[in-house]
Chains A and B, each alone.
Chain A
């Protein structure tokens, strides 16, 4: 039986044991480094801020927000996160980089919402949680935090994930996989309905074996087909011919030299590289002679949208003679005769019997070719691969790693699947996904992009401001038709639509003079020799150039740019502008007279700046070039209003009468 005293003893023992546990825990957990950090911080801060003597108490600091379930003591050590004086200091005093804290004030959002870690501790090892599940996110992983709350496709603050999402679209992952949140499926490969009339069969076979053998930057992946399967697929595809091309007579021999001159004039090289040299918008034409039939090439140059309605290539105004010459030039100059010869000696049998064609048809279906290419004009999509937004929410034990030796984690699985999809293939599961030969860097970004789609339980409704959706800009009337014909949006952006390869045209009507614009459209000369991708010479008809000029001068203007800044220009002001121009070294990049660098446009060669630009625009540009063109090379000199006015006056005085 238990004596009354024994209960007391047991109680004492338990009490003492737990007390000792607490003492041990306290000794271990007692880390006073944060106090040293705070003292150091106040020293640095006082040294930098001589006018104010900073008197602050050394104490634990904490940010609490019940909505976001945070209680962050990070600012106990990381004191300078919002202090502009702390730019360039060492961790933990350093100011937080970028604009992130301006948009997410730490008083509200704390730190762990983005950085993770254990905010309720001031002991570094515990707070940072290295090696545990609650570790502070390192490297690019931090960008995943943006997508806990934001669901936008592209976020400015997360360049790596945004790049990854763009890659997912460019490589057409969405062709076979549904990804909630990325734009709907669109076929990225060319239409194949006249492929049999377009390419040579030898070329097609080689392409199907490995597209990168034919075109080093090919988008199409490698399906690792057996020779007989590639041949059967080629046989099937060759049956899709264009009646008009087949019945047309051979292209008569043109003048290759004239063709070359024309190609240089219209600047094919701005978009098409030739054996690696040139732009990057369109396929390499360096070996086009080994690839296509002359009859198809001629028909395509006349009207390429008959074959590829979605193409971004502009429609050039080519006469029959021009086409003949261009075909001659392309076929003569850009045929690799070594390849042509080896093809002649190649003795592989090409089978075109109905059995091969039937096998080809089945392979076409099996490989899901129709998810990227259209064969008959209205092909159905076939059964898709896994929905990736579901995959990223899978538990690790539900993933089939096959025989691979990679670490058993979801990110590693996705990463490896993107880089080398066949790694997971086993005898029973061959894996349909083809190899894209994606570099580690790209695969990393794509993995992060996919991980950003993982679902989260965070309810942040009132803290997230959704980005506004805007309707894309659509030019109307005659000009609208011309913009479509010449595919202006393939290079230029207008009011947020189009690409940023060439000048943004949103303010063009306030920037240029009418005469200069019309002349430039009629003959587009080289303005910035440093660029590879220059405006092609479209050889507009004069009515077309007039319509475009009128449209630009009427519609693409801003009332903020006022030409009256140079009103009442005096010779003193011009002289002052000239002095400024020389002092600031503007001629390092711009030519005036016979001297100067050639980075920006020349001010006196050809049409002088006074005849080309409008004063209001020049003034606004000088005040802040990056406000008009964010990536421009011209530095912002921080000119005062008077200086900018004097310089504008001087520049506008460089004029031909």
Chain B
């Protein structure tokens, strides 16, 4: 078995790389594929927190690299889904603890046992980024419809194109607010795709549920009612080769709108 190594990167910080990694990983795991999430944000790890696994980490990526433990010992199984594993980053070290070659070797080892290896990349374009993309053959570039994030994404795509090993890269537009686009206060998804001239793999609407899910340590794809969760599910399906139409993130119409109206009638929130 040779798994696919996908790096999730963005250049700019705070656009949702870690959230995306956690959710796509969980979604892929739910569909039955075996998935390992590799956190390469050494020193500023957060992926364990999003998955609610921070109390189970004994060995980290750095311990594997420095041969204090075997690779399998360092893999933390998810609470709910046995298909999903986490290889956590060390909190007490910095990016220089792991080199590009070392991570590449780890990714090659993981490829034998897992269908998908998702590498959560740190922000920036320095050594941390170069290390993270070293083992990958595919990339997902996360951006938000803001000028600064789009510009950084453009820089990242340039760097990814320069790297031969990366065969394909896809764009994921995060934190989209349909009503702001409607009033011309935000760039539309089409604008972002036009500027970056890059294939789209997903549109994730802004969702307050993300904050609660992060605090609770439970990825939002586990919440079936969340729009962002559904959008992440669709991204996972597209990664697996399914042709899924993009989610309509505009004001709910039809049956959903009917429910929304009734909710309004009773004064329910959300």
Asked if A pairs with B, the answer is: no
